[in-house]
A and B are shown apart, each in its own frame.
Chain A
Amino acid sequence: MREQLTEFLLDNQQKFYRYAFTYVHHKEMAMDMVQNSFVKAIEQIHTLRNPKAMKTWFYRILTNECLQALKKAKRENLVEPADIQDEIYLEKAFEPSLELYEAVRQLPDETQTIIFLHYYEEYTLKEVSQITGYNLNTVKSRLYAGLKKLKTIVKEDVQ
């Protein structure tokens, strides 16, 4: 099981890094978060009974780590939502609007998590519920409240 887990973790490290980075927008912090999650995964390997559930199981560990790190960072004023500490590199030919991406970062932490998992990582709402531990209806109501809020933020920016 350990080999299987190690392989899974290393193979998907880039995905995990992007996910962690999206919370804090800080390179060093994001690397720490992924690293801590890896160590926790190995230490808690006995809680993984079904290898098929490895992905959601690990995202649960990673998400907890990210939410904790984000809270700590906010407490210590390391993260200001409007301030991207580390520039995101984007292809030159590629210029999507940053507006909505930035707007998402103004939502409550839990709602951001739902949007990251559902829209960026493309998990179904059911899987999001398994990863976050919120029940499905909570996931849905937070998501739709969040999307409504996004609309308002984007509109205000335009005006």
Chain B
Amino acid sequence: MRDLKDAKDIYDHIVVPEELDHRLREALENTPTPQKKTANVVKFSRWAATAAAALFLCFTVGLNTSESFAMEMSELPIIGTVAKVLTVRSYETTTDNTTTTVEVPEVQVEEAAAKEVQNAITDINTQIQTLVDEFTAQKYAEIDEYKEAFLETGGTEEEWAERSIDINVNYEVKHQSETTLSLLVDAWISWFNFQEERHFYNIDLVTGKELTLVDLLGEDAYEYAADQVYAQMQERIAEDPEGLIYWGINDSTDGIDGFDFIGVSEETPFYINSAGNVVISYNKYDAGPGYMGVQEFEIPAR
């Protein structure tokens, strides 16, 4: 029942009265804390110690991770000798209450590459540029419209300034070899809800063209990938029957209209992972309910 996403969107757009905050603060101030028993105090301080220890642990792990992450990042952009991915535009701006962080990638091929490859790559770069420009322009327009309505319905400039909005565009090289490049461009906005657009570019560096699932998995790619996804969904549910829901796979959703198994088609997002395998990457809401987030399935090579 993907239409419930519409219902959730309506829910997320319910306007909160401006006086709410003041009312709640006042109510909280006027409510005394009930008398604590000694036992509770002891329990709480023991908790505090555990929490502090956990925090310390997180910090250490964070440091290590970011270090190796940084090393990995510095090695990423070079793709064989044929092509490389560079950040051609990178900026961060803050206006009003909106922070925009953008990193636009560009694929560059050696000058020695065939003219048609160069042209094809240029087309893809233009597509990426357009995508980023349109995304940010559209989000700015939505924010302006929202702000206008916010002020019309009794909000003040000060209250508006207190809301924080983030727009972010970045990219990730998923796979790099002398013949293939797989790139994710990820654009999102975070305000009263979180909206994300993910675009994958899977490029054949020999021809400069975008790869399809048929190119990678053969004539019956869609049936083959769908069978693989179906089997993996069943396995995952078998491992965690209470936690996971895939439309059309759980007994409880099977056979009800609108709960059909998502399947695989030419529209299905995918990329190539570092091992060179196809990974089907369904957007949030598509393969299961929203709390499941993005769902990915690695498809074994044939």
- The proximity string for A residues 22-64 relative to B, scoring 1 for CB distances below 8 Å and 0 otherwise, is 1000010001001100110011011001110000000000000
Please tell me the number of chain A residues within 8 Å of chain B, measured between CB atoms.
Answer: 56
Given contacts A42-B33, A94-B13, A120-B7, contact A35 B23 (CB under 8 A): yes
- The proximity string for B residues 1-44 relative to A, scoring 1 for CB distances below 8 Å and 0 otherwise, is 10110111111111111011101110110010110110010011
Q: Which chain A residue has the least Cβ–Cβ distance from B253?
A: A144
Q: Quick check: is A88 within 8 A (CB to CB) of the other chain?
A: yes
Inter-chain contact A31/B243, CB cutoff 8 Å:
no
Q: Quick check: is A90 within 8 A (CB to CB) of the other chain?
A: yes
Inter-chain contact A31/B257, CB cutoff 8 Å:
no
Task: Give the A-B pair count, Cβ closer than 8 A.
Answer: 137
Given contacts A42-B28, A104-B7, A120-B7, contact A13 B34 (CB under 8 A): no
Chain A residues lying within 8 Å of B14, measured Cβ to Cβ, are 17-18, 21-22, 88-89
Q: Quick check: is A14 within 8 A (CB to CB) of the other chain?
A: yes
Which A residues contact B (CB, under 8 angstroms)? 1-2, 6, 9-10, 13-14, 17-18, 21-22, 27, 31, 34-35, 38-39, 42-43, 45-46, 49-51, 88-94, 96-101, 104, 115-116, 118-120, 122-126, 136, 140, 144, 147-148, 150-151, 154
Return 19 A-B CB contacts under 8 Å, by A number.
A9-B28, A10-B25, A13-B20, A14-B192, A35-B23, A35-B24, A38-B27, A45-B34, A88-B15, A96-B9, A96-B10, A99-B3, A119-B290, A122-B291, A123-B291, A124-B291, A126-B242, A144-B252, A151-B257
Which B residues contact A (CB, under 8 angstroms)? 1, 3-4, 6-17, 19-21, 23-25, 27-28, 31, 33-34, 36-37, 40, 43-44, 47, 51, 141-142, 145-146, 149, 153, 192, 242-243, 245, 252-253, 256-258, 289-291
